[in-house]
Amino acid sequence: MSPVPGGLLLDPSVRSVAVVRLRTGMGDLLCTAPALRALKAARPDVSVALVTWAEMAPVVERLAPHVDELVDFPGYPGIPERAPQVEAWAGWVRGVRSRRFDVALQAYGANPAANEVVAAMGARRTGGFFATTALDRTGPLDLATHVPYPAHLHEVDRHLHLLAHLGVPAAGRHLELPVGAADRAEGSRALAAAGLVPGRFVVLHAGATCSSRRWPAERFAAVAAALAADGWRVALTGVPAERPVVDAVLAALPPGLVTGAGPGVADLCGATGFGGFAAVLDAAALLVTNDTGAAHAASALAVRSVVVFLSGDPSRWAAPDAARHRVVREQVECSPCPHLDCPIDFRCATRVGPERVLAAARELLAARA
């Protein structure tokens, strides 16, 4: 979509913009970076606030060239990411209304509850996505500043489409994940403690936010064991909440494969924060993972990856560089699907064998030579 001449965001009277994202996923926010970059490139004079959850601060901090601040969101009925803090809502509304944002944008998606949040903020103008099936709930919207949610587009392009409708041209589709000196120091400590040498190890990230996107742990273990047999060291990563998943992978490994150095497996689950994880990933030869935030981090860092897609839709979420980032999936009748937990037999996972993932991994590792 070409930029609309004289669109809302090119109005010189617009000096502050609140982008209402409300997502809890690292990948969701990283996929918003190209649109935020475009906005700042077109309007470097505009102050940009990203409305999302406080826990996403480590990700938002790394969008700092394009985002000036994070506005903590207390939750709202109909926004499923977190249970709403009902007692905090009225105070939050008073606070954001006192900011008198020039523009508030609904960049969440096809959810009328997000339009209600934007309307409550009291900005001088509003814009963003809307669900065509929910106009009876949201009421009349200004079609000069709102677009039907373009579900057919890649996640990156959905947001660029919205910005183009508001007058802002794209400034590239690539993701960004800056890694600073403190991140690299943290990552280096974790690598040294685990006996990992930059460029000579593979990261295996078996977690994901819902079970319908998690390939079975024993299959990840089979891939890890085969890569170790090839002479690679394999680092298992995850946030502390993913400890049960990582433990399941460890339990499925052949005895004696968890080692302190050399070929084998190292446990890095919870060993770093977000920035340290980015530094560890940046030093890896390859990532093997599910359709989750780690995959988007690899795309942003240009680290080769093999991504197992199950319930998710690669046309929406896969990295654009198919030569560097490989998708492994089985086309089944019910995929992609919206379920957080598979209600039937999880055929999208059980029909993807370790040999397919291992073949893609070996091919990408050989391409590094």
Tens-place pLDDT, residues 196-238: 999 999 999 999 999 999 999 999 999 999 999 999 999 999 9
In this structure, are residues 163 and 170 in contact, taking their beta carbons and an 8 Å threshold?
A: yes
Q: Look at residue 140 and tell me whether its pLDDT is greater than 90.
A: no
Find the helix or strand (DSSP H, E) in which 52 lies: strand 47-52
Q: Return d(Cα 258, Cα 265) in angstroms, integer.
A: 5
Question: DSSP alpha helices (H): ranges in the chain?
Answer: 26-42, 57-61, 86-99, 112-120, 135-138, 155-165, 181-194, 217-229, 243-252, 274-282, 293-301, 314-317, 347-350, 354-367
Q: Which residues contact 299 (CB under 8 A, 6 or more apart)?
A: 30, 175, 305, 319, 320, 321, 325
Task: Just give the CATH number of 181-367.
Answer: 3.40.50.2000
Instruction: DSSP letter for 210, please.
Output: S
Q: Return d(Cα 71, Cα 76) in angstroms, integer.
A: 14
Four-residue CA torsion sign, 315, 317, 322, 327: negative
The number of angstroms, rounded, from the C-alpha of 203 to the middle of its chain's C-alpha atoms is 17
CATH superfamily of 8-165: Glycogen Phosphorylase B; (3.40.50.2000)
- C-alpha dist (Å) from residue 133 to 137, 138, 183, 336: 9, 10, 44, 21
| Residue of 76 and 133 predicted with greater confidence | 76
181-367 shares the fold of 8-165: yes
Percent of the chain with pLDDT over 70: 98
Lowest mean pLDDT: which of 128-132, 187-191, 286-290?
128-132
Beta bridge partners of 103: 17, 125
Q: Look at residue 363 and tell me whether its pLDDT is greater than 60.
A: yes
Average pLDDT, the chain: 95
Beta bridge partners of 287: 203, 305
Four-residue CA torsion sign, 78, 79, 84, 88: negative
> Confidence class of residue 343 from pLDDT cuts 50, 70 and 90?
very high
Find the helix or strand (DSSP H, E) in which 103 lies: strand 103-106
| Residue of 208 and 1 predicted with greater confidence | 208
Q: Look at residue 155 and tell me whether its pLDDT is greater than 60.
A: yes
pLDDT at 6: 86
- Domain residue ranges of the chain, discontinuous segments joined by +: 8-165, 181-367
Q: What does the block give as tokens for 229?
A: 């047999």
The model carries a pTM of 0.94
Q: Return d(Cα 72, Cα 309) in angstroms, integer.
A: 31
